[in-house]
């Protein structure tokens, strides 16, 4: 039998990367301790849209397999009493970002037409005008269209360096040159058979070989927003594409560098950093964001600081087959959950982990979660049930609970 207990942190593997549920206005010590260590801080804060965002979370095996059912839950509110309150948050974010950066580090601030202008003035003040590097325009086609003005179809990503000797290697983001829009150029083939376009200027011939890469400028039109059925989608309303984050991180980081995102939402930055072999620290004020991020991350080297369960009558159903050497997860029995009416104990579980609890810390040794690729939950473990002394579950609404084995009566 397992009983619900409180844990104050979870450690997976060596626990070096960080995922924290916290508010940047009351910065947790774990983030303060990273001052001067980050090679890149990327921030995608609320845009001051005035919206109240919802999120969709697939329910059970069918939900993850087909996309329905996927009940809607409140995500985060992008609502402020006015510009003053919003700018207070932004000033805090930019100030903390600068403190976290190493002298060679860089800062990205992702906004849209609403707040990009005051943010540019603010960042010029905090980082200094000479540290401004780029205003990247990320243009896309999705979303509604206006007839009263030109449709607003781009986000703005400001790039600043902390100091004069910042790391930046554009050759890490090559794009295929192809034939492109070079109709005004002559086409040719050299002695090795390589195709090129050429132009003569001031008597000199310039050749651009088809097989040589080109590098992105500051207007990006080749990365689209995530489509409804994109397997990368987590259901978090303002999720950014991994491809965008990879292009932002690649030129400014190397393997082992630290990447920080203080408004990590569904965790795109952290997943991108993890894929690139970087260390990472992510934070979000919204526990659901942290829960989605955790389910998404494959990292086996993570510390998670997030409040646990929210009460309610819940029972963990497990089965020990001591002779067969098997431990089985049979689900969560819940009263009044915020799931579809016909719920099953197993479908109520989105992910589960096994491990041990010591002094309020859960040390995980195995993690199982549903995903669009693996909608079915791993239910049975071939190991001595007695070795499973603690379990952490995330239910289908994203609520995490810790359970400790209690002595049989």
- Lay out the site mask for ligand SAM across 241-270 (x = CB under 6 A, - = otherwise): ---------------------xx-xx-x--
Three-state DSSP at 361 gives strand
Site for ligand SAM in 61-80 (CB under 6 A): 76
Give Cα 8 to chain centroid, integer Å: 22
Residue selected from 17, 39, 253, 286 as contacting ligand SAM according to rule CB under 6 A: 286
Alpha-carbon gap, residue 307 to 327, rounded angstroms:
27
Give Cα 217 to chain centroid, integer Å: 25
Interaction between residue 291 and ligand SAM (CB under 6 A): no
Say whether the peptide bond before residue 69 is cis (omega within 30 degrees of 0): yes
Interaction between residue 297 and ligand SAM (CB under 6 A): no
Residue of minimal Cβ distance to ligand SAM = 265
For the bound state, the minimum distance from the C-beta of residue 273 to ligand SAM, rounded and expressed in Å, comes to: 12
Give, in degrees to the nearest 5, the angle at Cα 403 between 303 and 58: 75
Give whichever of 123 and 292 is closer to ligand SAM, judged by the CB atom: 292
Alpha-carbon gap, residue 156 to 136, rounded angstroms:
6
What is the total count of residues that contact ligand SAM (CB under 6 A)?
Answer: 22
Contacts of 371 (CB under 8 A, 6+ apart): 64, 295
Interaction between residue 240 and ligand SAM (CB under 6 A): yes
The sheet that has 195-201: what strands, in order across it? Answer: 186-189, 195-201, 204-209
Q: How far apart are the first and last CA of the chain?
A: 9
Interaction between residue 236 and ligand SAM (CB under 6 A): yes
Residue selected from 285, 305, 338, 346 as contacting ligand SAM according to rule CB under 6 A: 285
Return the closest-CA partner of residue 111 out of 24, 168, 49, 173: 49
Interaction between residue 45 and ligand SAM (CB under 6 A): yes
Give whichever of 390 and 399 is closer to ligand SAM, judged by the CB atom: 399
For the bound state, the minimum distance from the C-beta of residue 268 to ligand SAM, rounded and expressed in Å, comes to: 3
Interaction between residue 25 and ligand SAM (CB under 6 A): yes
Residues that bind ligand SAM (CB under 6 A): 23-25, 44-46, 76, 89, 236, 238-240, 262-263, 265-266, 268, 283-286, 289
């Amino acid at each position: 039998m397992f009983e619900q207990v409180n844990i104050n942190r979870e450690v997976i593997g060596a626990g070096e990367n960080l995922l924290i549920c916290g508010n940047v206005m009351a910065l947790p010590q774990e983030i303060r301790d990273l001052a001067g260590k980050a090679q890149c801080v990327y921030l995608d804060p609320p845009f001051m849209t005035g919206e109240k965002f919802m999120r969709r979370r697939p329910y059970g095996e069918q939900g993850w397999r087909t996309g329905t059912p996927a009940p809607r839950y409140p995500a985060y509110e992008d609502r402020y009493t006015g510009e003053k309150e919003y700018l207070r948050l932004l000033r805090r974010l930019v100030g903390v970002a600068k403190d976290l950066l190493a002298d060679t580090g860089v800062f990205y601030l992702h906004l849209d037409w609403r707040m990009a202008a005051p943010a540019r003035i603010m960042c010029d003040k905090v980082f200094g005008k000479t540290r401004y590097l780029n205003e990247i325009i990320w243009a896309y086609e999705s979303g509604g269209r206006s007839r009263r003005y030109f449709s607003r179809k781009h986000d703005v990503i400001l790039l600043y360096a902390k100091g004069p000797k910042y790391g930046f290697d554009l050759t890490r983001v090559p794009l295929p040159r192809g034939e492109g829009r070079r109709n005004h150029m002559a086409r040719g083939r050299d002695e090795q058979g390589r195709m090129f376009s050429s132009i003569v200027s001031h008597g000199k011939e310039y050749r651009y070989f088809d097989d040589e890469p080109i590098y992105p400028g500051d207007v990006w039109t080749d990365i689209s927003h995530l489509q409804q059925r994109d397997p990368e989608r987590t259901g978090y309303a303002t999720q950014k594409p991994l491809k965008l984050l990879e292009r932002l991180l690649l030129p400014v980081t190397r393997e082992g560098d630290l990447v920080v995102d203080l408004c990590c939402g569904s965790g795109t930055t952290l997943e991108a950093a993890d894929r690139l072999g970087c260390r990472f620290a992510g934070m979000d004020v919204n526990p659901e964001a942290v829960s989605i991020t955790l389910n998404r991350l494959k990292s086996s080297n993570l510390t998670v600081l997030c409040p646990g369960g929210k009460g309610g009558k819940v029972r963990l159903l497990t089965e020990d087959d001591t002779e067969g050497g098997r431990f089985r997860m049979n689900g969560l029995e819940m009263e009044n959950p915020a799931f579809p009416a016909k719920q099953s104990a197993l479908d109520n579980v989105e992910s589960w982990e096994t491990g041990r609890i010591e002094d309020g810390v859960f040390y995980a040794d195995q993690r199982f979660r549903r995903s669009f690729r693996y909608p079915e939950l791993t239910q049975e473990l071939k190991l001595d049930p007695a070795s499973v002394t603690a379990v952490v579950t995330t239910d289908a609404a994203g609520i995490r609970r810790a359970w400790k084995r209690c002595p049989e009566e």
